[in-house]
Amino acid sequence: MHVFAFILLLLSPVWPLGENPLPNDPYIIINKQSNELAYIQNKEIKQIIKVATGKTVNLTPEGEFTVTVKAVNPYYRRNNIEGGAPQNPLGVRWIGFDARETDGRIYGIHGTNQPDSIGKYVSNGCIRVENREVSHLYDQVPLGTKVWIVSTDQSFEELAAQKGIVNIQQKTGD
């Protein structure tokens, strides 16, 4: 029986983690131009929240990435600050993605101990989110979720339609 299951596993089609998102899979789009994040699931934009992004244009990488790491009360390695400590700039959650081949350990969507920074260009490349918002997002986002970071004046509806994850309703005249 175990040999049969192993052979079945070998014959099953395997796709790389998160290669092409299915229409009902969770998906995140971050627009650096508006400093907003859209959470999409089941072909609907479920939530749009304000974020903070990189101090300079190049600090927050653009492209499509995959969530590879998640952590509750993340440890801040740079300054040796324990997770959950009030002075920890990563806040209460870390959703790391694989930008610039960093395996989700350097770039991420995370909380902040500086909520007044939200909406601004202040980070070293990460996406800052208010702790309350990132806690909710953390619960919704599984490993393998795609994160697409852009800088554009297009709407989230237009961007999601480009990826085929939201259908824009065609308006018809009378």
Give the mean model confidence (pLDDT) for residues 96-107: 96
Q: Are strands 93-97 and 146-150 parallel, antiparallel or unpaired?
A: unpaired
Please indicate whether residue 156 or residue 167 has the higher confidence score (pLDDT): 156
Give the mean model confidence (pLDDT) for residues 152-162: 96
**58 — pLDDT class (breaks 50, 70, 90):** very high
**CA distances from residue 118 to 50, 93, 110, 114, 143 in whole angstroms, order as listed:** 6, 16, 11, 8, 25
Catalytic residue positions, numbered:
110, 126
Output the CA angle 72-74-80, nearest 5 degrees: 155
| pLDDT, mean over the chain | 86
Query: What residue ranges define each of the domains in the chain, with the CATH number in brackets?
Result: 27-161 (2.40.440.10)
Q: Is 94 helix (H, G, I), strand (E, B) or coil?
A: strand
Q: Is 160 helix (H, G, I), strand (E, B) or coil?
A: helix
**166 — pLDDT class (breaks 50, 70, 90):** confident
The per-residue pLDDT for 21 is 53
Residue 147 structure tokens: 């994160």
